[in-house]
Amino acid sequence: MTGQTQRRRAPGEVPRPADPTAPPPFLDLDDLEERARGLLDPAVFDYYAGGAGTETSLAEAPVAWRTWRLRPRVLRGVTATTATTLLGTEVATPVGVAPWAYQSMAHPDGELATARGAAAAGALLCVSTSATHTVEEVAAATGSPAWFQLYAQHSPAHTDDLARRAGDAGYRALVLTVDLPVLGRRHRDLRNDFALPAGLRMANHPAPDDRPPLAANESPGWVLADVGRFAEVSGLPVVVKGVLRGDDAVACVQAGASAVWVSAHGGRQVDLVVPSAHALPEVVDAVRGETAPDGSDVEVYADGGVRTGSDALVALALGARAVFLGRPTAWGLTCGGADGVAGVLTGLTGELAHTMTLCGVASPAEVTPDLVTRYGWTSR
C-alpha cells in the first residue's frame, strides 16, 4: 500500500465485511434478531421476544446451557454426521422447530414457509394449534416429518376434533402442551394491548360465530388420564411438553406418553422457573428404564435458550434425543421466509456437527453423559 497504514487486527477479532449491513458469514442469532426487530411492528416483536413477569426465566435460559462444559475425546479420527430418529422417524438433524403461534405476523406465508424451511433442512417440524394456517394446510406444505401441538382450548369436542384431524392429516405425533392451564402474565403484551393484526386468523380455532357460549367455552384443565385418551382419539403417539420434574415425567409415561419434552415455554408462563438445561438431567434420570406404549425406550426432548451447536451438544449429552428452536426460527422466518428458517436450522446443525467432530463424536448415538461436566454460572 502507498500512503496508507494497514491496521493489524487484534487476536480473535473477526474481520468486518465490506458491506457492514450484510449478514455475517456465520450463524449470528443476535444479529438476526436485531434485523428482525427492524422489520416487525414493535408490538409483534415484543410478542415473539417477550416473557412472563420480570423475564428472569427468559434471560436465564440461554445462560443455563453455559453452566456445563464439554469434555472432548481425542484421537478418534471421526467426521460427525447428525442424522437420527425421533419416535422412529428418520431426520437429518436432532435440531427441530418448536411450535410457536401466529407465524403470518412474521411473514405472509407463515407456517407454510416454516414448513418448507424445515423440509429443506431435513428437520422435524412441530406445528402450533395457534397457527394462522390450518392443520391440513401446513401438512400439505411440508415434505418433512411433522408433529402437531395441542392446547386445551374452546370446547373439549373441538379439541378432540383437532386431535383427530392431526392424525388424519399425516402428522407423526401429538404434542400436548401442559404448562398453560392459564396464560402467563406477559407484561410486554399487556402494555401493548396486543391483539392479532387485522386480516389474520387463528385458523385452527372455531370461527367466532361457531363458538359456544362463554360458559360452555371454558375447557376444564387436562389430567393424566387425558394423555392416553388423546393417543386413542388421534391414533398417534403422544409427547407431553412442558415437563420440568422427574416425578411428573414418570407419571406422564405411565399414563401413556411415548416421550416427554422438557420446556419452560420460552419463559412465557412461570417466571423464576428452573431452566431446561438444569431440569433435563432429572427428567432423563427419572424415565430411564420406563417404556413407551410400543415397548421402546422413552425419548426426552428439550427446548429453551438453545442458541449454538455447543448448546445442542450439551443437551444431547444430558440425555435429550433432540432440541427444538422457537425464537431463532421466528427471526429466520421474519428475515428470509422459508430460506431464513432453513438457514437457521442448517446453520445450527452445521455448528453441532463441527463441535461433535472437535469432541471426537461421530453421531448423536455416540453422545454419552461423560461428554459434559457441570461448571458454574457465567455472565454469557
Q: Is 187 labeled as catalytic in the residue annotation?
A: no
| Per-residue pLDDT band at 18 (split at 50, 70, 90) | low
Residue ranges of the binding site for FMN = 99-101, 128, 149, 177, 241, 303-307, 326-327
Q: What is the pLDDT of residues 99-145, one digit of tens each?
A: 999 999 999 999 999 999 999 999 999 999 999 999 999 999 988 89
What is the number of other CB atoms lying within 10 angstroms of the CB of residue 173?
25
Residue ranges of the binding site = 47, 99-101, 128, 149, 151, 177, 186, 241, 263, 265, 268, 303-307, 326-327
Measured in residues, the chain has a length of 380
**How far apart, in whole angstroms, are the C-alpha atoms of residue 78 and residue 57?**
37
| pLDDT score at 205 | 87
Position of cell 432423563? 284
| pLDDT score at 379 | 46
Q: Pick the catalytic residue from 107, 133, 154, 265.
A: 265
**How far apart, in whole angstroms, are the C-alpha atoms of residue 240 and residue 250?**
11
Residue ranges of the binding site for glyoxylate = 47, 151, 186, 263, 265, 268
What does the pLDDT average to over 55-81?
95
Q: What single-letter amino acid sits at 20?
A: P
Angle in degrees, 0-180, between the axes of helices 276-287 and 309-317, rounded to the nearest 10 = 30
For residue 126, give the nearest of 83, 161, 153, 87 by alpha carbon: 87
What does the pLDDT average to over 88-96?
97
Q: What is the pLDDT of residues 209-227, one digit of tens each?
A: 554 443 344 456 899 999 9
Rg of the chain (C-alpha set): 21
29-368: CATH, from 3.10.450.30, 3.40.309.10, 3.20.20.70, 3.40.50.2020:
3.20.20.70
Q: What is the pLDDT of residues 313-371, one digit of tens each?
A: 999 999 999 999 999 999 999 999 999 999 999 999 999 999 999 999 999 999 999 99
